[in-house]
Structure 1
Amino acid sequence: MKQKRERILNYIKSRYALWILTLILVFMIELLNRGKVQDLTKWIFKEESFIPAFVLTYAIVYGILSLFIALTGRAQIAYWTISTFLVLIAFISGMKWKLIEVPLMPWDVTMTDEAMDLSGYLQEVPIKMVIAILVFVIVGILLFKKLPHVQKKFNWTERGLFLLLSVVLLGVIFTDKPIAIKKRFGIEYSRTIQDLNYKKNGFLLSTILNVDQAFVDKPKGYSEEKIKSLVESNSKNDKVNSKVNPNVIVILSESLWDMTKMKDVKLSKDPLSFYHSLQKKYSSGEMLSPAYGGWTANVEFEVLTGNTVRFLPQGAIPYNQYVNHGVDSLASILGRQGYNTTAISPTHSRFYQANKVYQNFGFSRFISGEFFEDKKKGPYIADDEVANKIIETTEKSSGSDFIFANTMENHGSYINKYKEKTVKVEGQMSAETKDMLENYATGVADADEMLKKLVHHYEKSKEPTIVVFFGDHLPPLGRNYSAYKDAKYIGKDSGPDFLPSASTDYGDKSKGTVKELDFLNKMYRTPLMVWNNYLPEHQDKLDMSSNFIGPYVLNLAQKEGTYYTNYLYNLSKKYPMIPPQEYYSQMKIKSEDLADYQMMQYDIMFGEQYGYGKLKDQIASKKLIFGYGDMTIENVTLHSSGQEKTIHITGKNFSGPSTIYLDGKSIETKYQPDGSLIGIISDEGKVASAKIQVKNGPKGIDLAVSNVYQMKK
């Protein structure tokens, strides 16, 4: 008995160092992924799911360590091998989370340029994280040296036991067999709110939960013959007018929603007064969004391509995962008909990989946030500035324009957002809810003013123009819909577990009830307006999913579509809204009626693109121009006023954020109303023979570069 006890004690002594080192590695991974010590401690001490999530995460790390010990036979080699890999990917995840608000996903391994994208921000790496990594390495080295009983080398029997342990731990957690371990531990998994998912469950466990979301299965019956038959049966469109080529301007208004639906909330004025006035004469209605409170990129994806995220794994973001090849869109379709195609966004060019996605969609130009002057309303670029960019683009171009623009001003958070709130709110609600609603209403009013500015401008324009204006999703007003509940817009127990706001794999599986359908209609419908300045007066009731907007607009403009848009236009007549599958029965939708749609989408996104035929390699644009075209320096003059010395640069296509470089070094630059640039110089002598260039883009990344202008003495 004594000998047995001693053997157990000796075994524990030979292993506890590995247990301690594993514990340190787990917390290091979470610190790097979360980015802040405060967020790590919040997970440990305040998150209810911490204990089960931690236990499973610890088991994952120890299982990986056991596997590498089995392979190498040496503790230190195994530990530092897995530590290097796990620390690196946790660090990348934290950086990605910081940059584009999405953690590292399993499917990101298919995005070969992602690491290069992150490299442009290396100068923004928090020094605290670098210090944390160094401390982790030092502590690990010291523990291996100082801890007694550290077994550094293992014999074949022990390696076999480690292998067995690894297979058991990782096998059960990955496969949920023979027991549903994650369900037993009460792990909840949000298929769509990955931010919440990673905060609750941690990086490694969330990654495992996401693995089964990375792939899309081939539909039964998919073949070249089947796709070609669908192309042939949907190729005719008799409503094409090649003589009239209207400008088509599509505007995604951030978080736009009609607050007047809140019957228990009194507003000092209608924040959508102009929009409501247009409803009396023009086609309008509501768009069923695939998202709530975020995921703008998924709404964009549906509007521009006609594809739907309903056929993709829940939680998927096509911009980040799947759009790595040419995908026919409104931009490429109209571009083939001679249109100038421009994307406009006040966010940076790599947000949701827009720089790559828009090129794959066939856009020829992208005016991103790097080309906006810093004119903000609240913390974000004002909607009015986006309107100015739209007008400027159509005024400068020759021929017809397709413009897709999104806004940012009315993005959350809505707490203490505006210094001056133009809409006041009254009702029985908390002070926090009142503040959120007033800030949000102020942003809605500015969006309405943006629409008014555009309509008034194009009313006077001689160019035929269509303006499509819609909200991408409802605003996230508080955690768990708190402001909506407080304002009595929805019930206190609202929020079904399978919708994109709070879906779980292991919760209640009752779906599609009347009560939940009411929630869908209240929380996933946004305003939709289609205005024009040239067509006979006509009103359509526009209640449709976002994926049907593109086909509708092509039909309205009488422009040539494709077999796919023709199919979607006809499908929208039967099923104008495609909800989550759980609602099919309630909304009288037969899944078999969508089988052809699903198959064509698979062909486009994951298959051989049989439907595109010869167009397959012609959809993505050869080059995506950033800003207004090639910047050109035409003349440089030196000026002196008192002690201040400046250079004045005239040329073409400069913008507010343009920066002057003297011999490769940036100088303070001021953009002038006439489009010229003024640079502040400290040494007049250096300018006389300097090489001068103008660049646009974040530090280290040149989106637009001018010619080099050589000064001469």
Structure 2
Amino acid sequence: MNRIKAVLQKCWQYEIVHAAVYSALLNMLVECFNRRSLIGLVMIFTNPVLFLYNTLIILVTMSIVLLFHRKVFVYCTVSVVWILLAVTNFVVLCSRKTPFTAMDIYLIEDAIKVIPVYLNVFQMILIVLAVAAGIAGLVWLWIKGPKQQEKIHYIRTTVKIGLLLLCCMGVTHFLLLTGTISSYFGNLANAYKQYGFAYCFTCSVVDRGISKSDEYTPEYVNSLKEDIEEIEVENSEKSPNIIFLQLESFFDPNLVKGISFSENPLPYFEQLVAEYPSGYLSVPCFGAGTANTEFEVQTGMNMDDFGPGEYPYKTVLQSKVCESMAYDLKEKGYATHALHDNDGTFYDRYKVFSHLGYEDFTSIEYMDNIEMTPMGWAKDKILTGEIGKILDSTDGSDYIYTISVQGHGDYPAEYPEGFVPEITVTGFFDTAKEKAFTYYVNQIHEMDNFLRELTAMLESRDEETVLVMYGDHLPGFSFTDEVLENGDIYQTQYVVWSNFSLSSEKENLESYQLAAHVQQMLGMSEGYLTKFHQKRKDTPDYLKDLKILEYDILYGNCDLYGGENPFQATNLIMGQNDITITNAYNYKDYVCVEGSNFNDYSVVYINDKAYPTEIINSHLLRVEKAQVTAGNIVSVVQQGDDKIELSRVYLQVGESENK
């Protein structure tokens, strides 16, 4: 016993042993947050290899303590970072079903916009106080904490850290070869539980974009190109309006087992499914991740080929222009439009849509008479009139990509003030969950009414039109495959309505196949990826070759296009109606700005300084406690709560008159 004690005491003399023990304890805490219970400790016994591997990853970060004299401070700082990540993951999992990844840091601006929906003021204050206390504690440790005096051999220590990193990389490679871990996360939430938080989050940091295949060569891409160019499609002379309608968190709640409703929440949608081409749609996300379903539908690309939790809107599409349904249809003379009844800056759509071929984008900042849900989201019925405006704006064929928002979470456990459910739900054992689901069901019931109004409007127009409706993902409830009649939480439904005869068998699809499928129904085959999906969908190398084409288009040499990307970013116009200023003048102690198409998102700037703006009507804005003089530049800027400018018109003031 004394010999063992002596050995342990000797080992404890080495700082790396301290770091290893602290890393193991820290990993226990992180896994408890990851699994949202003390069951995280079970990983030590059920899968000791993965527990030690995740500990090794944390140890690599903890090993920087060897380079500092203030070791307690460094231990605490590294620990705080890991705990902060774990707690963030815990909070994120409480409001959505997709774990926290490094990509969410890119989305921090978008997250700030929706924080009030998920957290109340008291919770936000607690978070701010906890962060402030953590920072204050670290500052105190830096000032008052112990400082060791031993000399540090920086070169030798750096080599030790490097060897530890190489060891971690070697273990990672070995575990990948043996199948103990995987670099492919088909279900991100399951991967975090199966492989551990430290490994999965680290993957989201280092694994971005699409990896290059060993088979990627100009010759291989050209062989694929020659093959898909041989596709034979009966080219239709018709060019109907094509409208894609992505419905936020929309699915048929009748698919949930054991739940009853006072009346059918989606009578019209179920009628459409029965009468028109339809099927299940496999989407890349559950509970959140709208932009990634958008990306798959528009581009025909598979999100499984990107890094874990990646949002191409925030990474590659910030700089790359990508083949899409919009670019494909522009080749046939279509006008291309995007429409969304939420902030235009969300997911950077106001930037990205110019890289996807849209000529204009109407976001909520360009809409009037918007009715909001009790949780502050726009009701989708506003989109009927906006789609009509777009169709009226051109004489030719239109392609409109529409994104709805009414079904968006959070779903309150207590009914908001003034909310009286039209449809009641029974079958839940938890009253809070029942009320939350009741609130959700009533929102999508209104969305069902919106679909009825929209198709009626389109039917009344003397234009052939196709409307493709689908849910972007299931809502953020604790569903499992076993709870659903269709047995898959990654499936929504799609239906293709048209006001002319359009035949097609019912077929289940991946969301990246939907646009090509619709084109095929219409006798079209525009775009290389469209041709690829139409011809190669059922072949053995389908997914492998799709990944090679995706890499070539976004990261490779563009061999598919002869070595040069043929698509150019569009000059994206915000809104359908031109906003104008015709006059600006002083009246008493405020400024009046006259013009057209003003709304609640119009803000007056005088010489580039923003002023609180009151809208009188669509032709008149008023700014109190301000004056203009000759030569001043008066601007009207469209912007949301984030203050990001979407468009600006201006007028130079002439000789002003006090009225």
Deviates more, 1:543-552 or 1:690-699: 690-699
- 2:591–2:628 Cα contact (<8 Å) kept: no
Report the counterpart of residue 164 of structure 1 in structure 2. Answer: 160
In the TM superposition, residue 679 of structure 1 has moved relative to its aligned partner by 1.9
1:662–1:618 CA distance, 2 compared to 1 (3 A): same
1:166–1:617 CA distance, 2 compared to 1 (3 A): closer
Structure 1: how far apart are the matches of 2:198 and 2:257? Answer: 44
Structure 2: how far apart are the matches of 1:519 and 1:290? Answer: 16
Which residues of structure 2 form unaligned runs of 5+?
Answer: 45-49, 115-123
The alignment's TM-score, normalised by the length of structure 2, stands at 0.77
Aligned residue runs from structure 1 range 531-542, under 5 A: 531-533=497-499, 535-536=500-501, 538=503, 540-542=505-507
Report the counterpart of residue 524 of structure 1 in structure 2. Answer: 490
In the TM superposition, residue 58 of structure 1 has moved relative to its aligned partner by 7.4
Corresponding letter in the other structure for 1:253: L
Q: Could you report, residue by residue, the CA deviation over 1:364-421 in whole angstroms, capped at 9, with x for unpaired residues? A: 2223344456631132221112333323332334533211111121123333366222
- 1:648–1:676 Cα contact (<8 Å) kept: no
1:552–1:56 CA distance, 2 compared to 1 (3 A): closer
The alignment's TM-score, normalised by the length of structure 1, stands at 0.72
1:7–1:543 CA distance, 2 compared to 1 (3 A): closer
Report the counterpart of residue 514 of structure 1 in structure 2. Answer: none
Query: Secondary structure at the residue paired with 2:552?
Result: helix
Corresponding letter in the other structure for 1:633: I
Matching of residue 334 in structure 1 with residue 300 in structure 2: no
In the TM superposition, residue 469 of structure 1 has moved relative to its aligned partner by 0.8
Report the counterpart of residue 651 of structure 1 in structure 2. Answer: 595
1:153 to 145, 151, 154: 151
1:689–1:416 CA distance, 2 compared to 1 (3 A): farther
Corresponding letter in the other structure for 1:636: A
1:103–1:224 CA distance, 2 compared to 1 (3 A): same
1:344–1:685 CA distance, 2 compared to 1 (3 A): closer
Report the counterpart of residue 653 of structure 2 in structure 1. Answer: 710
- 1:303–1:548 Cα contact (<8 Å) kept: yes
Q: Could you report, residue by residue, the CA deviation over 1:119-152 in whole angstroms, capped at 9, with x for unpaired residues? A: 999xx998647734651452232244xx26x135
Corresponding letter in the other structure for 1:422: E
Which residues of structure 1 form unaligned runs of 5+?
Answer: 31-39, 491-517, 576-589
Structure 1: how far apart are the matches of 2:440 and 2:611? Answer: 38
Structure 2: how far apart are the matches of 1:192 and 1:136? Answer: 40
Corresponding letter in the other structure for 1:389: E
1:678–1:137 CA distance, 2 compared to 1 (3 A): same
Matching of residue 611 in structure 1 with residue 602 in structure 2: no
Matching of residue 413 in structure 1 with residue 410 in structure 2: yes
Q: Could you report, residue by residue, the CA deviation over 1:184-240 in whole angstroms, capped at 9, with x for unpaired residues? A: xx9999946768988999975543244574364433433223322332332355533
In the TM superposition, residue 280 of structure 1 has moved relative to its aligned partner by 5.2
- 1:64–1:166 Cα contact (<8 Å) kept: no
In the TM superposition, residue 687 of structure 1 has moved relative to its aligned partner by 6.8
- 1:63–1:167 Cα contact (<8 Å) kept: no
1:700–1:10 CA distance, 2 compared to 1 (3 A): farther
1:265–1:336 CA distance, 2 compared to 1 (3 A): same
Structure 2: how far apart are the matches of 1:55 and 1:141? Answer: 30
Matching of residue 48 in structure 1 with residue 39 in structure 2: yes
Report the counterpart of residue 562 of structure 1 in structure 2. Answer: 527
Q: Could you report, residue by residue, the CA deviation over 1:75-106 in whole angstroms, capped at 9, with x for unpaired residues? A: 35997799699969979x979x99x9888856
Report the counterpart of residue 375 of structure 1 in structure 2. Answer: 371
Report the counterpart of residue 474 of structure 1 in structure 2. Answer: 474
- 1:14–1:151 Cα contact (<8 Å) kept: no
Structure 2: how far apart are the matches of 1:452 and 1:701? Answer: 35
Query: Secondary structure at the residue paired with 1:248?
Result: strand
- 2:290–2:472 Cα contact (<8 Å) kept: yes
- 1:365–1:624 Cα contact (<8 Å) kept: yes
Report the counterpart of residue 678 of structure 1 in structure 2. Answer: 621
Report the counterpart of residue 394 of structure 1 in structure 2. Answer: 391
- 1:237–1:566 Cα contact (<8 Å) kept: no
Corresponding letter in the other structure for 1:395: D
Query: Secondary structure at the residue paired with 1:636?
Result: strand
- 1:301–1:318 Cα contact (<8 Å) kept: yes
The count of corresponding residues between Structure 1 and Structure 2 is 627
1:118–1:625 CA distance, 2 compared to 1 (3 A): farther
Query: Secondary structure at the residue paired with 1:468?
Result: strand
- 1:299–1:546 Cα contact (<8 Å) kept: yes
Report the counterpart of residue 117 of structure 2 in structure 1. Answer: none
Report the counterpart of residue 573 of structure 2 in structure 1. Answer: 625
Corresponding letter in the other structure for 1:49: G
In the TM superposition, residue 59 of structure 1 has moved relative to its aligned partner by 6.0
Matched-pair identity in %: 21
Corresponding letter in the other structure for 1:547: Y
Structure 2: how far apart are the matches of 1:283 and 1:229? Answer: 34
Structure 2: how far apart are the matches of 1:313 and 1:42? Answer: 23
1:330–1:189 CA distance, 2 compared to 1 (3 A): closer
1:478–1:49 CA distance, 2 compared to 1 (3 A): same
Report the counterpart of residue 504 of structure 1 in structure 2. Answer: none
1:692 to 634, 653, 656: 634
Q: Could you report, residue by residue, the CA deviation over 1:224-262 in whole angstroms, capped at 9, with x for unpaired residues? A: 2332233233235553345x4322110011122122334
Structure 1: how far apart are the matches of 2:296 and 2:139? Answer: 49
Query: Secondary structure at the residue paired with 2:287?
Result: coil
Matching of residue 254 in structure 1 with residue 254 in structure 2: no
Report the counterpart of residue 548 of structure 2 in structure 1. Answer: 599
Structure 2: how far apart are the matches of 1:695 and 1:661? Answer: 7
- 1:291–1:299 Cα contact (<8 Å) kept: yes
Q: Could you report, residue by residue, the CA deviation over 1:470-526 in whole angstroms, capped at 9, with x for unpaired residues? A: 112222323657xx74xxx46xxxxxxxxxxxxxxxxxxxxxxxxxxx633xx3332
Structure 1: how far apart are the matches of 2:216 and 2:52? Answer: 43
Query: Secondary structure at the residue paired with 1:661?
Result: strand
1:162–1:79 CA distance, 2 compared to 1 (3 A): farther
Corresponding letter in the other structure for 1:543: N
Matching of residue 226 in structure 1 with residue 220 in structure 2: yes
1:301 to 259, 277, 295: 295
Query: Secondary structure at the residue paired with 2:338?
Result: strand
Structure 1: how far apart are the matches of 2:323 and 2:372? Answer: 34
Q: Could you report, residue by residue, the CA deviation over 1:579-626 in whole angstroms, capped at 9, with x for unpaired residues? A: xxxxxxxxxxx6435444343333223332211237x43424243333
- 1:283–1:529 Cα contact (<8 Å) kept: yes
Report the counterpart of residue 461 of structure 2 in structure 1. Answer: 461
Matching of residue 354 in structure 1 with residue 303 in structure 2: no
1:192–1:132 CA distance, 2 compared to 1 (3 A): farther
Structure 2: how far apart are the matches of 1:555 and 1:599? Answer: 23
- 1:94–1:103 Cα contact (<8 Å) kept: no
Corresponding letter in the other structure for 2:293: V
Q: Could you report, residue by residue, the CA deviation over 1:307-360 in whole angstroms, capped at 9, with x for unpaired residues? A: 223444554443344434121111111223332222222343343343343222
Q: Could you report, residue by residue, the CA deviation over 1:602-654 in whole angstroms, capped at 9, with x for unpaired residues? A: 3223332211237x4342424333334764312235557xxxx6644343554
In the TM superposition, residue 542 of structure 1 has moved relative to its aligned partner by 3.9
Matching of residue 270 in structure 1 with residue 264 in structure 2: yes
Structure 2: how far apart are the matches of 1:310 and 1:174? Answer: 23
Q: Could you report, residue by residue, the CA deviation over 1:422-476 in whole angstroms, capped at 9, with x for unpaired residues? A: 2122347443443233222212211211211211111121232211111122223
Structure 1: how far apart are the matches of 2:576 and 2:340? Answer: 13
Structure 2: how far apart are the matches of 1:268 and 1:462? Answer: 38
